[in-house]
């Protein structure tokens, strides 16, 4: 009896959620479109460090406006500082090991690719990026391309 | 082939959407022609989640096909799991924009991991875990606050094509109360219930991953959350009646 009432309550909730808060069409469309970003056999650098995760875990205190991210795979990587400016993001980064190359910044929403060339120490910056998911495809002048995992900034 | 079978079973045209081995409940739930919620209740809820976990081979096949470049297989995965991923983000009370970012980041992660994923049949649980982590990350971000009600959920007052005006009003009032009480629940309860009622119904493993909760705890926790919801509704109904002018339904 009680369980039946529970089912009824959960089903009412299911009906309300289905009617009033289903995944928006643009969210579905973006998920379908995500497939176009498929890359094959590219070296992938995972997230090795996120200052946000550290601060949140340590104290529950919100971090400042700057967030540091580190991506790494097999001794290579890229480090990035992200500054929030409203809905825009500014990033400053460096290829590791340091050295010249270029970086494609791929933004997922809206879709956008920004190309930047690094200095001799692998440093680069980009401004006015949209917030949302991004990934960096880093190509050192003397090496092969490596992409970072996607992350929402 | 199996998709065709499902089309027949569910009696609706999927309109280009692959529905995997399961019948999406929304068209049933939107049925205002007389089937009661109780009729549906028996086939849904937690008990139902077992049925939806029935086709691991098909999920594995879809993941493998998508990894090989099959766009339709990708579309089938998106249709199967976007509801789940969205429910995780919304369960954490993220705004539309933040939830959209979490969902897209989660799918982009899957794209990049397609040919690396170790356990393709558990892709739903993988997506739920990824969405959970991204949602938590989003919550920790500078300048993020818990959204106000008006940011989050629309007012459930659209009577739609309900059978009778009086019934519709009664149901709307109850819906409004339920919705308001739901928003008062703890984050843990909101997340659990949101995920449980996501469309299509998730498997135990997916719920477990989304909540980082042992499978054995899901049922009892759900029971406590529903009980809490019922208590909140009773309190709010009482408060509402105590307030002057509660009969004015246009307030």
The alpha-carbon gap from A61 to the nearest alpha carbon of chain B, in Å, equals 8
The alpha carbon dihedral of B23, B26, B30, B36 has a sign of positive
Q: Is the pLDDT of residue B7 over 60?
A: no
- Report the residue from A53, A64, A108 with minimal CB separation from B137: A53
Q: Is the pLDDT of residue A134 over 80?
A: yes
d(CA B212, CA B61): 26
The alpha-carbon gap from A11 to the nearest alpha carbon of chain B, in Å, equals 6
Task: Write out pLDDT tens, residues B184-223.
Answer: 999 899 999 999 999 999 999 999 999 999 999 999 999 9
pLDDT (average), residues A89-95? 95
- Which of the residues A1, A34, A47, A108 would you substitute to probe the B interface, choosing the one with the greatest number of B C-beta atoms within 10 Å? A34
- Residue pairs between chains A and B whose CB atoms are closer than 8 Å: 191
- Report the residue from B108, B136, B223 with minimal CB separation from A6: B223
Q: pTM of the full predicted structure?
A: 0.75
% pLDDT > 90, chain B: 50
Q: Across the interface, do A13 and B193 touch by the CB < 8 Å criterion?
A: yes
Residues of chain A positioned with their CB less than 8 A from the CB of B38:
4, 7-8, 11
Residue A49: exposure state from Cβ atoms within 10 A (0-12, 13-18, ≥19)? middle
- Report the residue from B74, B103, B137 with minimal CB separation from A27: B103
Task: Write out pLDDT tens, residues B38-78.
Answer: 333 333 344 344 444 448 889 999 999 999 999 999 999 99
Q: How many residues does chain A have?
A: 153
Identify which of A117-121, B33-37, B239-243 has the greatest average pLDDT: A117-121
Q: What is the DSSP string of B30-65?
A: T--SS--HHHHHTTSHHHHHHHHT--HHHHHHHHHH
Q: How sure is the predictor about B249, in pLDDT bands with cuts at 50, 70 and 90?
A: very low
- Report the residue from A35, A109, A132 with minimal CB separation from B111: A35
Task: Write out pLDDT tens, residues B112-155.
Answer: 999 888 899 999 999 999 999 999 888 877 444 444 443 444 44
% pLDDT > 90, chain A: 65
- Based on C-alpha coordinates, what's the Rg of chain A? 20
Looking at per-residue confidence, does B90 or B31 come out higher? B90
Q: Is the pLDDT of residue B25 over 50?
A: no
Q: Across the interface, do B178 and A16 touch by the CB < 8 Å criterion?
A: yes
Q: Across the interface, do B137 and A40 touch by the CB < 8 Å criterion?
A: no
Which pLDDT value is given to residue A138? 96
Q: How far from B129 is each of A44, A79, B109, B136, CA to CA, in Å?
A: 20, 25, 12, 11
d(CA B104, CA B95): 14
- Report the residue from A8, A44, A67 with minimal CB separation from B37: A8
Range list of H helices, chain A: 2-20, 25-33, 51-59
Which pLDDT value is given to residue A105? 95
Q: Across the interface, do B112 and A50 touch by the CB < 8 Å criterion?
A: no
Of A9, A17, A26, A5, nearest to B30 by C-alpha is A17
Q: Is the pLDDT of residue B12 over 80?
A: no
Residue in chain A lying closest to B201 (CA)? A14
B112-B116-B120 Cα angle (round to 5): 105
The alpha-carbon gap from A128 to the nearest alpha carbon of chain B, in Å, equals 18
Residue in chain A lying closest to B47 (CA)? A7
Which pLDDT value is given to residue A20? 87
Q: Quick check: B105 contacting A, CB < 8 Å?
A: yes
Of A135, A136, A116, A125, nearest to A90 by C-alpha is A125
Q: How sure is the predictor about B32, in pLDDT bands with cuts at 50, 70 and 90?
A: very low
């Amino acid at each position: 009896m009680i369980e039946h009432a529970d089912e009824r309550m959960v089903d009412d909730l299911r009906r309300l959620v289905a009617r009033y808060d289903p995944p928006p069409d643009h969210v579905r469309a973006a998920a379908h479109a995500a497939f176009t970003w498929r890359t094959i056999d590219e070296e992938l650098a995972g997230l090795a460090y996120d200052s946000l995760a550290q601060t949140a875990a340590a104290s529950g205190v919100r971090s400042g406006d700057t967030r540091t991210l580190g991506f790494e795979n097999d001794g290579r990587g890229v480090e990035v500082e992200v500054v929030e400016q409203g809905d825009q993001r500014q990033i400053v980064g460096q290829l590791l090991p340091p050295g010249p190359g270029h970086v494609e910044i791929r933004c997922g929403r809206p879709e956008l690719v920004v190309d930047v060339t690094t200095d001799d120490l692998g440093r680069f910056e980009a401004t006015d990026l949209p917030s949302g998911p991004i990934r960096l495809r880093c190509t050192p002048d003397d090496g092969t391309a490596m992409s970072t995992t996607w992350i929402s900034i | 082939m199996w998709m065709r079978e499902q089309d027949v079973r569910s009696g609706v045209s999927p309109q280009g959407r692959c529905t995997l081995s399961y019948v999406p409940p929304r068209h049933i739930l939107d049925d205002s022609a007389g089937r009661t919620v109780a009729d549906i209740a028996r086939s849904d809820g937690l008990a139902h989640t077992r049925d939806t976990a029935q086709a691991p081979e098909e999920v594995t096949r879809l993941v493998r096909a998508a990894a090989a470049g099959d766009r339709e297989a990708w579309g089938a995965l998106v249709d199967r799991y976007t509801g789940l991923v969205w429910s995780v983000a919304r369960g954490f009370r993220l705004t539309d924009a933040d939830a959209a970012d979490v969902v897209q980041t989660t799918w982009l992660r899957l794209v990049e991991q397609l040919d690396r994923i170790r356990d393709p049949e558990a892709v739903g649980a993988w997506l739920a875990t990824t969405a959970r982590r991204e949602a938590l990350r989003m919550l920790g971000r500078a300048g993020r606050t818990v959204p106000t009600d008006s940011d989050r959920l629309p007012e459930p007052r659209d009577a739609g094509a309900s059978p009778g005006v009086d019934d519709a009003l009664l149901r709307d009032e109850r819906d409004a109360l339920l919705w308001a009480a739901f928003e008062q629940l703890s984050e843990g309860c909101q997340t659990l219930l949101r995920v449980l009622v996501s469309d299509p119904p998730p498997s135990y493993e997916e719920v477990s991953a989304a909540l980082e909760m042992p499978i054995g705890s899901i049922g009892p926790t759900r029971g406590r959350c529903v009980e809490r919801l019922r208590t909140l509704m009773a309190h709010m109904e009482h408060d509402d009646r105590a307030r002057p002018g509660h009969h004015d339904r246009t307030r």
